[in-house]
Amino acid sequence: MKKHLTNAGILLLACLLLPLSVLSQRRNKLQSTLPTYPEELYSSLDYRLIGPFRGGRSAAVTGVPGEPNLFYFGAAGGGVWKTLDGGRTWDNISDGYFGGSIGAVEVAKSDPNVIYVGGGEKTLRGNVSSGYGVWKTEDGGKTWATAGLEKSRHVPRLRVHPTDYNTVYAAVLGDIYKPTKDRGIYKSTDGGKNWKQVLFVNEQAGAVDLTFDPNNPRILYASTWHAQRPPYSLISGGDGSALW
């Protein structure tokens, strides 16, 4: 009887240790495959303002691999901007298509002419602007078309599959003034024509960030945020506070 119990205990211990071993091997493999950069590349960095003048706050910026002078950024109240000369000059490329508040800008690695933009800023504060869903361009920002999620209100992050620009994920924070089911992570496999909610936590907590596993785009990591701004009111009282 003791022998059977001992064998069962060994088997149970092996089952418990196996996932830890696999996780350790995966972590070691990830660390060995991630690119490393010399520290001196960062130690001499000197940040400076490159415009545009009165561009306002922004938390949505992206470059394009292989194009050192090409950048895009989305402003909290000024739409999407593009530079071809490393920031010396900027052009607004969203005027006439969608509203000004931008939370995410994502360029497809498989085709840099394909860009997805999420409306609604993610820098929540005393005054905050919502957006109008997701928009998409296939010609580097010359023309735009709506790509759904009109009820999202705030899209802090978009991620496009590294080899398929029609597969895109959206982190949706949702309406910050009331509970809603339109939050979480959404996925589209047809370039934004249709979306499926693939992660929902609750009606108060929305998705605020999202990223791929660098070695396997089928694995994603998401973070959620319970962030709400209760509606405010100015109320007049009369009759010694008996009436409001």
Which one-letter amino acid corresponds to residue 32? S
Which one-letter amino acid corresponds to residue 134? V
Provide the sign of the torsion angle of the four alpha carbons 233, 98, 104, 175, taken in this order: positive
Q: CA–CA separation, 242 vs 244, rounded Å?
A: 7
Q: In the prediction, which pLDDT does 46 show?
A: 83
Contacts of 229 (CB under 8 A, 6+ apart): 124, 128, 176, 177
Please write down the long-range contacts of 41-50, taking CB distance under 8 Å and 24 or more positions apart: 50/83, 50/86, 50/87, 50/88
pLDDT in tens, 102-146: 999 999 999 999 999 999 988 887 778 888 899 999 999 999 999
User: Per-residue pLDDT for 5 more than 50?
Assistant: no
Confidence tier at 176 by pLDDT (50, 70, 90): confident
Greater model confidence, 46 or 233: 46
Confidence tier at 243 by pLDDT (50, 70, 90): low
What is the chain's alpha carbon radius of gyration, rounded to the nearest angstrom? 23
End-to-end CA distance of the chain: 78
Confidence tier at 17 by pLDDT (50, 70, 90): very low
Q: CA–CA separation, 44 vs 242, rounded Å?
A: 66
pLDDT in tens, 157-173: 999 999 999 999 999 99
β-bridge mates for residue 145, sequence order: 136
Q: In the prediction, which pLDDT does 2 show?
A: 46
In the block, which residue shows the tokens 């991620």? 159
Instruction: Give the CA distances from residue 75 to residues 45, 47, 83, 139, 221, in Å, rounded to whole numbers and listed in that order.
Output: 24, 19, 14, 21, 25
Average pLDDT estimate for 35-42: 78
Average pLDDT of the chain to the nearest whole number: 82
Instruction: Give the CA distances from residue 196 to residues 6, 119, 189, in Å, rounded to whole numbers and listed in that order.
Output: 49, 18, 9
pLDDT in tens, 40-87: 877 878 888 887 776 678 889 999 999 999 999 998 888 999 999 999
pLDDT in tens, 207-224: 999 999 999 999 999 998
Residue-by-residue DSSP string for 111-174: -TT-EEEEES-S--SSS------EEEESSTTSS-EE-S-TT-----EEEEETTEEEEEEEEE--
User: Per-residue pLDDT for 174 more than 50?
Assistant: yes
User: Per-residue pLDDT for 197 more than 90?
Assistant: yes
Ordered domains of the chain (ranges, CATH): 58-226 (2.130.10.10)
Q: In the prediction, which pLDDT does 50 show?
A: 82
Q: CA–CA separation, 214 vs 32, rounded Å?
A: 12
Percent of the chain's residues with pLDDT above 70: 78
